[in-house]
Amino acid sequence: MFGFDDSSRVFNLLSPNGAFYNSKFSVDRYELVKYVIPVERLPEWVRFMFQNKRDCHVLSELCLLFKGRVKVDSSKSGCYQVQLNVFKYYMFWFAYYPVCKGNNESLDTGPYRSSLLHYSLRWLKFILTFSVERDSSSLAKTLLDLFLEINSDEGSLSTESMGTLLEIHLLNKTVKRKCRNMVNLLVQYSLNSSTDFSRKYLFFQNQAGLGGVTPLHLTACMNDSEHIVDALINDPQEEALYFDNVSEDSVKKPKSIVDVGCGISGPEIYLAKTYGAKCIGIDISPYKVKRGTEIPNAQGLGDKVMF
Question: What CA–CA distance (Å, rounded) separates 276 from 111?
Answer: 56
Q: pLDDT tens for residues 202-238?
A: 887 777 777 778 887 787 777 777 778 777 766 555 4
- The phi and psi torsions of 70 (rounded to 5 degrees) equal -90, 115
Task: Report yes or no: 146 and 180 within 8 Å, Cβ to Cβ.
Answer: no
Task: Report yes or no: 125 and 173 within 8 Å, Cβ to Cβ.
Answer: no
306 membership: H or E segment, kind and range:
strand 305-306
pLDDT at 143 exceeding the cut of 70: yes
Q: Residue ranges of the domains in the chain?
A: 109-237, 240-307
Name the pairing type of β-strands 80-84 and 152-153.
unpaired
Lowest mean pLDDT among 17-21, 81-85, 105-109, 173-177: 105-109
Question: What CA–CA distance (Å, rounded) separates 82 from 224?
Answer: 42
Q: 262 or 54, which is more confident?
A: 54
Task: Report yes or no: 264 and 220 within 8 Å, Cβ to Cβ.
Answer: yes
123 membership: H or E segment, kind and range:
helix 110-133
Q: What CATH number belongs to 240-307?
A: 3.40.50.150
Q: 181 or 105, which is more confident?
A: 181
Q: pLDDT tens for residues 288-300?
A: 677 677 777 777 8
- Average pLDDT score, the chain: 68
